[in-house]
Amino acid sequence: MERVTDWILLWRQLVEAHARRYLKEKQGDDAWRNRARRYDEHVKRRWQTPDSSRSFVLSCLQATPGATVLDIGAGTGVWTVFLARHARRVTAVDPSPAMLEILEENLAAEKIDNVEIIQGKWPEVKVAPHDYSICAHAMYGYPDLPAFVRAMTAVTRRTCFMVLRVPVAGSLMAQAAERIWGQPYDSPNFQVAYNVLLQMGIYAHVLIEDTGLWKPWTNASLEEALDDIKRRFGLDEESEHDEFLRQLLSQQLVHSGDRYVWPRSVRSALVYWDVRRDTGAVEGKE
């Protein structure tokens, strides 16, 4: 029999692998300084289409008049603005000054004044208890997911929400990860996180978003795509995996116009748990 996966360890390894790549690319103290505005524009375009995650969270807020919400990793505030329209008070936490600067602009543009902004990294910041807490795609840089989740649960009276990316099984990136790392996960994601929650004694519910797979990546050439996938895995300029990756890309990317289009392979899921009913020990084995 094969050994059971230690999902907590796998999450840590995936985060640390991406952190090593991040250190190579990092410029200045705030990694988002030159990307925050592009990120804000991208998320706002995506949010022009309604999705089931927002609908479900809204239904919870509507059932709890006067609710307070903690937004962990708030970024430029697309969730913060949405939550603030339906909650009595929202606390937005994020470590990036560049992100929070745009968040403040977005709040001012919407004339929203019921948001407290805290610059800091979760779970190091201290906040008062809230009825709900949410973290949307902002947990991927934290190697100790159990500590992140325990702190989130500790300051939540009702429900914790997490929005995570869900990769398609057997995707191009999964095949590359299997070849390079010996397992099919190329990054921290829903599958790993959900099993971490189970390992901690949290029996979370899942709502797969109804908007389908995300818009695919594109590259100007196959060589650019090869450079891109090697960068994502932190591979050197010359690696033993180059020929395999080159063949994989040539087989699965579609040439359309002047771009090479990757297969669609990621969607989102809302994971949520009621801290009063769905948690056991809430302790993770390190």
Residue 238 in domain: yes
87 with 11, same domain: the answer is yes
Residue 176 in domain: no
Number of domains in the chain: 2
Closest to 231 in 3D by CA, of 25, 15, 35: 25
Both tokens of residue 222? 């196959």
The angle that helices 7-25 and 190-200 make with each other, rounded to 10 degrees, is: 140
192 with 254, same domain: the answer is no
Q: What is the pTM of this model?
A: 0.93
Beta strands in the chain (DSSP E): 68-72, 89-94, 115-119, 130-136, 156-167, 205-208, 218-219, 254-256, 259-261, 266-274
Please write the tens of the pLDDT for every residue from 242-267: 999 999 999 999 999 999 999 999 99
Please write the tens of the pLDDT for every residue from 169-192: 999 999 999 999 999 999 999 999
pLDDT at 24: 52
Q: Is 210 helix (H, G, I), strand (E, B) or coil?
A: coil
Residue 44 in domain: yes
Q: Which domain holds residue 229?
A: 216-263
54 with 122, same domain: the answer is yes
221 with 135, same domain: the answer is no
Question: Taking 90 as the threshold, does the pLDDT of residue 18 lie above it?
Answer: no
> What distances in angstroms separate CA 125 from CA 72, 122, 145, 148, 237, one per listed residue?
10, 6, 16, 11, 39
27 with 139, same domain: the answer is yes
Tally of CB atoms within 10 A around 72: 27
Mean of the per-residue pLDDT values of the chain? 93
40 with 100, same domain: the answer is yes
124 with 209, same domain: the answer is yes
12 with 33, same domain: the answer is yes
186 with 257, same domain: the answer is no
Residue 175 in domain: no
Question: Taking 70 as the threshold, does the pLDDT of residue 29 lie above it?
Answer: no
| Rounded Cα gap, residues 77 and 104, in angstroms | 8
31 with 129, same domain: the answer is yes
Q: Which positions ≥6 away from 137 have C-beta within 8 Å?
A: 73, 163, 164, 165, 268
240 with 191, same domain: the answer is no
Give the CATH number, domain containing residue 98: 3.40.50.150
* Contact between residue 281 and residue 201 where contact means Cβ atoms under 8 Å apart: yes
Dihedral angle sign, alpha carbons of residues 241, 244, 250, 252: negative
Residue 1 in domain: no
Least confident range of 20-24, 111-115, 206-210:
20-24
Please write the tens of the pLDDT for every residue from 204-246: 999 999 999 999 999 999 999 999 999 999 997 889 999 999 9
Dihedral angle sign, alpha carbons of residues 142, 22, 94, 48: negative
Q: Which residue has the tokens 């397992």?
A: 183
pLDDT at 187: 95
Confidence of residue 283 (pLDDT cuts 50, 70, 90): very low
Residue 185 in domain: yes
Residue 86 in domain: yes
Residue 281 in domain: no
95 with 197, same domain: the answer is yes
